Amino acid sequence: MDTRQSEGKMLFLGLFKPVVGKTFILTLVIGISFGFSFAYILMSTTRSFEEFSFSPPRTENIYMDRHHHSDKEYNQVPDVREMGSHGHDELHHRGEDVEAKKLAKKVRVLCWIMTNPKNHETKAVHVKATWGARCNILLFMSSENDTSLPTVKLPVLEGRDYLWSKTKEAFTYLYKHYFQEADWFFKADDDTYAIVENLRYMLSTYNASDPLYFGCRFKPYVKQGYMSGGAGYVLSQEALKRFVEQGIPDKTKCRQDHGGAEDVEMGKCLENVGVKAMDTRDSLGRGRFFPFVPEHHLIPNHVDPSFWYWKFIYYPSELGMGCCSDTAISFHYVSPSQMHVLEYLIYHLRPYGISHNVMTSQLPELQADSTAGVVNVTEGASLSRRSEEERKTEKAKENSSKLGS
């Protein structure tokens, strides 16, 4: 043992002794420290450094939600084909959408998604696989043809600088091809998540023949305010008509070139053609359209009080749970993964024993109807089941009366 070990040592030393000089060690140390410092500087100036970091995330990384389109891209994109789904007729969900289906026939919403070729496979497919499917009509506006989504190929250049021209082209396309197919025209981004049933619920008390538009209302730049682009906004039929017929062709009403912030230009243009910016808060004053992810709005001090958002919002917003309506409509900067999480939380997960009741007194028009009291959505479903039972007992009565006669 001993001899073999020392033999190995001898061999080791014998191999290295001739090259391990003082200069060599010095060169090695200087070389390593130089290389290390250089690599560190290089990597910390690039965004990808965090991926190489072995230390736990720093505190500012706890909140990964994005506040700007230039912020770090979502780093994990699920494969939509691996997502799977829940059945429509599962025990906890059977018959629950009776009311929603009824409303979908009365309040027809066309959704169009602002996307681009880079995002077809990574983001747009997730909109289609989740909330987008609940729109009466779903269209993806892009600059390239993609038969799988599919997309509408608009004659525009891509990039943030061209969003305004893309918006004009998109609405012009809708006006030409879909004007009679929907009552309301909802624009959203490919990282917006929307609860379409709540959008219809809010719109159900309005008349699409009036020039109206709805969204997350911001204060500056336009007298009546304008709607944040990312949270999505919805135009009535009449608003769409005015925008395309009176707004777009008239340089005194709407900006003619491609530049400017899309949502601000839209706000100015719509104001100039007499389209009214609406209040989308619920009866408790809570918001429904949100330009960020839910955490941003729900958690007090999640964002700095100096953040531009607080200066932009048209209506004062409560901090904490009071921010957000139970009939919220949209959130923005939602990553593809988060879309599937929201889908699960909103449409599948159910606390056992809690039924879902909606007061129609929230609907001003229905309130006028003295017979309207409480619409019991769960009851709506159980009513249809009950009436089936009633029909059975009626048949049984018929049978027995037949037998009797």
Ligand X SMILES: *[C@@H]1O[C@H](CO)[C@@H](O)[C@H](O)[C@H]1NC(C)=O
Q: What Cα–Cα distance (Å) separates residue 97 from each residue in 110, 112, 197, 282, 313? A: 19, 23, 10, 22, 33
Question: Which of 207, 283, 361, 384 forms a contact with ligand X (CB under 6 A)?
Answer: 207
Which one of residues 26, 29, 321, 396 is an interface residue with ligand X (CB under 6 A)? Answer: 396
CA nearest to 249, candidates 173, 168, 184, 175:
168
Residues 140-159 binding ligand X (CB under 6 A) are 145, 147, 153
Q: How far is the CB of 379 from ligand X (least distance, A)?
A: 4
The stretch among 88-96, 245-253, 257-265, 378-386 that binds ligand X (CB under 6 A) is 378-386
Binding window for ligand X (CB under 6 A); candidates: 24-32, 50-58, 320-328, 395-403 = 395-403
* C-beta of residue 342 within 8 angstroms of C-beta of residue 357: no
Work out which of 27, 374, 384, 391 binds ligand X, going by CB under 6 A: 374
Task: Give me the least distance between CB of 147 and ligand X, in Å please.
Answer: 5
Stretch that binds ligand X, among 67-75, 95-103, 259-267, 394-402 (CB under 6 A): 394-402
**Contact assessment for residue 265 and residue 227, using Cβ atoms and an 8 Å cutoff:** no
State the Cα–Cα distance between residues 203 and 214, nearest whole angstrom: 9
Distance between CA atoms of residues 123 and 126, nearest Å: 5
Of residues 208-247, those binding ligand X (CB under 6 A):
209
Of the pair 122, 378, the CB lying nearest ligand X is at: 378
Locus of tokens 């601000």:
264
With respect to ligand X, which residue has the nearer C-beta, 113 or 216? 113
Going by C-alpha positions, the residue among 18, 17, 16, 126 that lies closest to residue 80 is: 126
Nearer to ligand X, 145 or 283 (CB): 145
The smaller minimum CB distance to ligand X, of residues 32 and 374, is found at: 374
Q: Does 395 bind ligand X (CB under 6 A)?
A: yes
Residues 6+ apart with CB under 8 A from 232: 186, 187, 188, 189, 192, 194, 215, 289, 329, 330, 332
Whole-number Å distance between alpha carbons of 18 and 12: 11
**Least distance (Å) between residue 395 CB and ligand X:** 4
Helix, coil or strand: residue 281: coil
Site string for ligand X, 340-369 (x = CB under 6 A): ---------------x-x------------
- Under the binding rule (CB under 6 A), the answer on residue 177 touching ligand X is no
Segment contacting ligand X (CB under 6 A): 42-50, 106-114, 187-195, 392-400?
392-400
* Nearer to ligand X (CB atom), residue 260 or residue 380: 380
Q: Which is nearer to ligand X, 33 or 399 (CB)?
A: 399
Task: Give me the helices (H) in 107-244, please.
Answer: 125-129, 163-178, 196-203, 237-242
Report the 10 Å Cβ neighbour count for 164.
25
Judge contact between 168 and 260, C-beta under 8 A. no
Residues that bind ligand X (CB under 6 A): 145, 147, 153, 207, 209, 355, 357, 374, 376, 378-379, 382, 392, 395-396, 399
